[in-house]
Amino acid sequence: MKTIKGPALFLAQFAGDTAPFDTWDNITKWAGSIGYKGVQVPSWVSGFIDLRKAASSKDYCDELKGVAEANGVQITELSTHLQGQLVAVHPAYDIGFDGFADPSVRGNAQARQEWAVEQVSLALSASKNLGLTAMASFSGALAWPYLYPWPQRPAGLVEMAFDELARRWRPILDHAEDCGVDICYEIHPGEDLHDGVTYEMFLERVGNHARANMLYDPSHYVLQCLDYLDNIDIYKDRIRMFHVKDAEFNPTGRQGVYGGYQPWVNRAGRFRSLGDGQVDFGAVFSKMAANDFDGWAVVEWECCLKHPEDGAREGVEFVKNHIIRVTEKAFDDFADGGTDDAANRRMLGL
């Protein structure tokens, strides 16, 4: 068994224009000062990382790591959630997702998709230069508008969508193999990879690619009424990244999974700060330890009620208190009477 590393913090929800959230030096100093040991870096935030430069210069990557380490934290992974989303966008979402892209490619779906592929590939090269072995991303979505089958889906529609999704990602996954970096898809509503079944549909189409792995985040499973503990056992060999995020699902006679178009605070399913929701993190961390997960426990703060700085500060102690320092011996070793093959045969009457 292995001990999970942490606590770490995903910086995406904290990036801003004012100190201490505006520069790489400032935000890593802040994260270290409140007790984090690692940070997961949103690769689209230019104030934190020059992605193109990081992909081509190991010296630059060493400088980034040096600043972080001087402030008491390590870089755990890079994130390409926004760029990965743009690898596959259904036309219904063109306007909504256009803001994720560089201004030079907005309004041009093909140019935007090509830009996204390049960005994800650059992040993989940058991850290699940083000495990292995993990168977080979204899969994007072509079939999501057809999630609920009304009207009835035409035969072959979903299969065609997943064939195309796999076609777009396969060259990126091959580049990931060249870099020695796992792509960890966050299994997430709004993505075509939104549960175990859809992940398996994709995995089959990319030839069970060794680099097509998972980012485990129980909060998204709570809101889907999916068994988030069983999921760990099913996909233990593919879970290479872990977001520690809480959620609650409180359906009523008026509202359930779909949320009735309500804002987050009024939905039956809501993201909450750690300890304020319904995720059984004692069981989650136990299963992760039993299954030899040795990556980072990364806090992703999202809460419809609590201030982000309070959530981040509380998250440090929450994760520290849940990480299990795994034992190096069995608890009943004191009663070991010793044995050998001859003794075993006698005990069995052989």
Domains along the sequence of the chain with CATH: 5-347 (3.20.20.150)
Mean pLDDT across the chain: 96
Tens of pLDDT along 35-60? 999 999 999 999 999 999 999 999 99
Tens of pLDDT along 312-325? 999 999 999 999 98
Which pLDDT value is given to residue 178? 98
Which pLDDT value is given to residue 329? 72
189 to 1, 16, 92, 200, 257: CA distances (angstroms): 32, 26, 16, 16, 11
Give me the mean pLDDT over the 88-117 stretch.
97
pLDDT class of 328 with cuts at 50, 70, 90: confident
Query: Is pLDDT at 65 greater than 90 in this prediction?
Result: yes
Name the percent of the chain lying above pLDDT 70: 98
Give dist(CA 178, CA 181) in Å, integer. Answer: 8
pLDDT class of 76 with cuts at 50, 70, 90: very high
pLDDT class of 343 with cuts at 50, 70, 90: confident
- Higher-confidence position of 326 and 8: 8
Give dist(CA 98, CA 108) in Å, integer. Answer: 9
Give me the mean pLDDT over the 330-350 stretch.
77
pLDDT class of 123 with cuts at 50, 70, 90: very high
Burial class (CB in 10 A: 0-12, 13-18, 19+), 104: exposed
Q: Which tokens hold the place of 226?
A: 């999916």
Tens of pLDDT along 260-286? 999 999 999 999 999 999 999 999 999
Tens of pLDDT along 125-159? 999 999 999 999 999 999 999 999 999 999 999 99
pLDDT class of 238 with cuts at 50, 70, 90: very high
Which pLDDT value is given to residue 237? 97
Give me the mean pLDDT over the 302-308 stretch.
97
Give dist(CA 146, CA 341) in Å, integer. Answer: 61
Tens of pLDDT along 156-204? 999 999 999 999 999 999 999 999 999 999 999 999 999 999 999 999 9
